[in-house]
Structure 1
Amino acid sequence: MEEKTYSGFVAIVGKPNVGKSTLLNNLLGVKVAPISPRPQTTRKRLRGILTEGRRQIVFVDTPGLHKPMDALGEFMDQEVYEALSDVNAVVWVVDLRHPPTPEDELVAKALKPLVGKVPILLVGNKLDAAKYPEEAMKAYHELLPEAEPRMLSALDERQVAQLKADLLALMPEGSFFYPEDYAKSDQTFGEWVAEILREEAMKRLWHEVPYAIATKVEEVAERENGVLYIKALLYVERPSQKAIVIGEGGRKIKEIGQATRKQLEALLGKKVYLDLEVKVYPDWRKDPEALRELGYRSSVG
């Protein structure tokens, strides 16, 4: 007799920069979502796939919910609402270092329709750095009293392992959505590389070019000497931004390239040759067609 299997979808939601991607990466034990100290690093839903024994979770990591300012912002919020449309559980991540903001209230409002339908875990993150975690947690819990509260640090392996065990136990009986030996994410290799490149660019260009950078991988090829050749583009909206990304004497783009290559080589275990080019794509964030072209799904506009 065949053993029963259990599987389902879990959405990870929260306002920007509360540690959603860090939590997802540590739940999976591998880097899938981009991590940067800047808000809105995650722009697209990412599926992380966790299979342990007879249980499987497909995690959906979402962009931070916020008031949209342009077509990109509208796309990002649409991604959140679509992620919530068919899940078996929700992990709502909040930052215990600070009290709730209007953006947290926006998340709570988005989750209200799910109350009584699926489990909602209110996860207070950054416990290790919070001065008054209990008081903050109480304030967040008041926004959605039906949620099950817990506090942790997404960097604490033991605490993350307990959350993982609890989520696996919540999965309903059903066939696996992905084969057991499937990769940890359903991103393509090119999308994964582009996100790591954008993460490194965001770290270094936050003040000058906050969200005007998009990245796209044009070519991947393994050379005869075993080196992985990757051609990637960084798009900005104005010529002045292109000059900033390149930097004086090409120093900034070289720094971004070296940091990206270092990450890729550590994660892939092989030498990487990264060929970067900066291009101007006027007002791409406001143009639904440009968003489609740059990989922000056809649902935009």
Structure 2
Amino acid sequence: MSTIKKSGIITLCGRPNVGKSTLTNALVGEKVAIVTNKPQTTRNRITAILNRGESQFVFVDTPGLHKARTRLGDYMVNVVKESVADVDGVMLLVEPIPNIGAPEQQLIDRIKTLGCPSVLVINKVDTLEHKEKLLEVIQLYTQAHDFTAVVPISAKNGEGVDELLNVLEGFLPQGPQLFPEGMVSDQPERQMMAEILREKLLLCLDKEIPHGTAVEITKFSERDDEVIEVDATIYCEKNSHKGIIIGKGGSMLKKVSSMARQDMERFMGTKVYLQTWVKVKENWRDNINLIHNFGYRDE
């Protein structure tokens, strides 16, 4: 019998590379969103679920709000705008810098329009040498909007995460749980496998190359011996990129695949047999059909 008495949806938004996916993982205590130090790592809306006492939190992690340069970019910006609607609360995640940039101002304007409870979450406080800088940040943002609460945190080391959850619990309306027990994300396992592989591409490759990659899982099946077989095709936009992804004698592809397989095994809790291929699809980020094929959909 469920003991959940309160449940609600909380959106997490902010500019690229501010730590949204790291915070999502810290909130639920498990890796449900891929994390790299490169902007625009998250492309889709990711739902993460946490049951805590009598409350169920449903966190929606969004791509960073950025200036779109491709059709895929348009899709990502749209996801952010739609995710800050019909929710029970919004977390605006910012860095401890006393300056409100255009992306933050856009999101503050959206929060004001919605009129829902909002928390200013100041991340990366562990990087501050002078704590008085934090007061400047708080003062600047509280002048821009009357936030329900302001919580300084470090998503990386977990500092302030419990305090943040206590604040967010106050936003949850009375109601039954929205997702079943034991579920930490609404992402299909196949999609998670693709995201894990894409994370390793972002970590191992330089400059624009990894942003021009997409991963399609063409086979995902469990054998009788409980080993999961995963066939993955990595798509890139240029022949020259294909050579870099494969590497000399296949060394880069082998490295990326090995790192991905280890993470897949941790996520699935069993052995994974992973095979990877690299193919070229020129300008796929501007082809709406291919964008949909690779799992980026509005619904």
Corresponding residue for 1:133? Answer: 134
In structure 1, C-alpha distance between the alignment counterparts of 2:127 and 2:175, rounded to whole Å: 39
SS at match of 1:157: coil
Distance 2:234 2:296 in 1: 15
Q: 3-state DSSP class of the match of 1:33?
A: coil
TM-superposed CA distance for 1:183, in Å, is: 1.2
Q: How far apart are the structure 2 equivalents of 1:208 and 1:113?
A: 35
Q: TM-score w.r.t. structure 1 length?
A: 0.91
Question: Are residues 84 and 47 of structure 1, via their aligned partners in 2, closer, same or farther at CA, if it must alter by over 3 Å?
Answer: same
Q: CA RMSD in A?
A: 2.0
The 3-state SS of whatever aligns with 2:7 is: strand
Distance 1:145 1:230 in 2: 48
The reply on whether 1:257 has 2:278 as its aligned counterpart is: no
CA separation in 2, counterparts of 1:255 and 1:285?
A: 25
* TM-score normalised to structure 2 length: 0.92
Contact between 2:95 and 2:124, CA under 8 Å: does it hold in 1? yes
Question: Deviation of residue 281 (structure 1)?
Answer: 1.3
> 1:208 touches 1:244 (CA, 8 Å); kept in 2?
no
Conserved? CA contact 1:14–1:64, under 8 Å: yes
Unaligned runs of 5+ residues in structure 2 are: none
Is the aligned partner of 1:8 residue 2:5? no
Q: Distance in 2 between matches of 1:28 and 1:205?
A: 29
Check conservation: 2:9, 2:87, Cα contact below 8 A.
yes
Q: Which residue does the alignment assign to 2:289?
A: 289
Q: Superposition pairs for residues 159-170 of structure 1, below 5 Å?
A: 159-170=160-171
How many angstroms does 1:52 deviate by?
A: 2.2
Pair 1:109–1:206, CA change in 2 (3 A): farther
Change (3 A) 1:246 1:140: farther
| 2:75 paired with 1:75 | yes
2: distance between equivalents of 1:298 and 1:64?
16
Task: Say which SS state the counterpart of residue 74 (structure 2) adopts.
Answer: helix
Cα distance in structure 2, aligned partners of 1:143 and 1:255: 46
Q: Does the 8 Å contact 2:217/2:232 carry over to 1?
A: yes
**CA deviation profile, 1:166-224 (whole Å, cap 9, x unmatched):** 21232011222112x14100100011111111111011113250410111211112233
Mapped to 1, the partners of 2:162 and 2:217 lie a distance apart of 34
Unaligned runs of 5+ in 1: none
Instruction: Give the distance between the partners of 2:142 and 2:136, measured in 1 at CA.
Output: 10
Higher mean C-alpha deviation, range 93-102 or range 59-68:
93-102
- State whether structure 2 residue 204 is matched by structure 1 residue 204: yes
Q: Is the 8 A contact 1:97 1:130 kept in 2?
A: no
The one-letter amino acid of 1:122's match is L
Structure 1 vs Structure 2: percent identity of aligned residues? Answer: 36
Task: Provide the rounded CA distance (Å) in 2 between the counterparts of 1:163 and 1:156.
Answer: 14
Cα deviation digits, residues 21-54 of structure 1 (max 9, x gap):
1111111011101111111111000111112232
Cα separation, 1, equivalents of 2:63 and 2:4: 34
Closer, same or farther in 2 for the Cα pair 1:100/1:248, shift >3 Å?
farther
